Amino acid sequence: MNMASPARYPQVDALRFLSAVAIVWLHCCADGFLDQTTFITRFAVPFFSASAMFLLYRSIAKSPGQKRWGHFAISRTRRLYLPFLGWTCIYLLATEFKRRFISHMPLIPVAPYMLWTGSSEQLWFLPFLLILSVVVFPLCRWTAAGHRTRQSSMAAIMAIIGIAIILLPFPLPGEMGLSDNLGAARYLAAMSWMTLPAACWGLTLAMWPRQRPQWISLVIFAVSMFMIHQHGRDMLFENIAGFAALVWATSNDAEPKESSRPISFLAIRGRDAYGIYLAHVLFIESMFAVVSRFHFTNSVPLKLVEFAIALGLSIATLRILDRSNWTRWLCG
């Protein structure tokens, strides 16, 4: 799922990598230890959503009359859903192995819900991105083919929709989780609902090509992260933080210039972001099992080691998979 952005957006690629790193840290703290530090990671998924929609629109806008919905849907399915199915099988096999030989628990039966949420909780993002991309494609093409008035109007509408989603209650309350078909459907819907505002605002930003001062977006990002730190998880501030990060990353897109060395270094690794997102839980769960089996005491050094191993092995796995045409599709 290599969704590298054009060369004129190196800061987007850099932030994509940092967002993947943040998610690795978030899931390393899933056992509750150092959970108070995870506020710094909450911008990551909204940033992924906003940047994906921003780049989708900009790609369509280059030649709106030449792109066909059917070809786009097939291409998107190949790039998003096939890796989703592949990693669903990998995580299912890993879970069954752990249950059979380590935790000695009953095996998990294959169920239909795995076709839309997968067998690991982070995989929901791929079906979400696939469905959203296919749905908004005709709208993006119609908007991009129109005059500035149409584009500005649609930008305002997408901004309002994003705000409305935050204000409205989640429409499908009830039990959710990866245990039954209905609960898994609610889980996918709930996780999608949480990040939809940033996706809408990413389209707003793409449809409204105006120069944005970087310092304003940085201030908004900092304030949002502070509010999350002070008050805990908050849909509004998480989406604002992810969107503000995208605004910062694209603020110089009207006048591309050479990136600084740190940005260039991180941007090169941006192509690994989605692969890291897909693979890292495999190693985190394995380390959690080892820690539990040998009764290690949680500590800051142990958590840092878990984080480094999960990130390093995820990147190494991508490098290995990318070497063969038989497995490269798992990387996107």
Average pLDDT along the chain: 91
- What percentage of residues in the chain have a pLDDT greater than 90? 75
Under the banding of pLDDT at 50, 70 and 90, the label for residue 214 is confident
Task: Take residue 228 and report the two structure tokens written for it.
Answer: 């999350």
pLDDT for the residue numbered 1: 46
Alpha helices in 180-272 (DSSP H): 181-207, 214-231, 235-249, 261-268
Tell me the mean pLDDT in the region 123-144: 96
Among 10, 54, 58, CA closest to 270: 10
The confidence score (pLDDT) of residue 107 equals 83
**Does 37 have pLDDT greater than 50?**
yes
Q: What is the pLDDT of residue 259?
A: 63
Task: Reply yes or no on whether the pLDDT at 292 is more than 90.
Answer: no
What is the arithmetic mean of pLDDT over 105-120?
90
- Taking CA atoms, 318 is separated from 2, 41, 91, in Å, by 11, 22, 15
- Arithmetic mean of pLDDT, 317-322: 94
pLDDT at 4 over 50: no
Report the distance separating Cα 205 and Cα 150, nearest Å.
14
Higher-pLDDT residue of 279 and 214 is 279
Q: What are the extents of the domains in the chain?
A: 10-331
Q: What is the pLDDT of residue 109?
A: 87
Taking 70 as the threshold, does the pLDDT of residue 68 lie above it? yes
Each residue of 246-283: pLDDT tens digit? 999 998 654 445 567 888 889 999 989 999 999 999 99
Confidence at residue 177, expressed as pLDDT on a 0 to 100 scale: 87
Q: How confident is the model at residue 67 (pLDDT cuts 50, 70, 90)?
A: confident
Write the single-letter amino acid at 241.
A
* Mean pLDDT on 224-253: 94
What's residue 257's pLDDT? 53
Q: With beta carbons less than 8 A apart as the criterion, state whether 273 and 19 touch.
A: yes
Nearest 5°: phi and psi at 28?
Answer: -65, -30
As a whole number of angstroms, the distance between CA 43 and CA 39 comes to 8
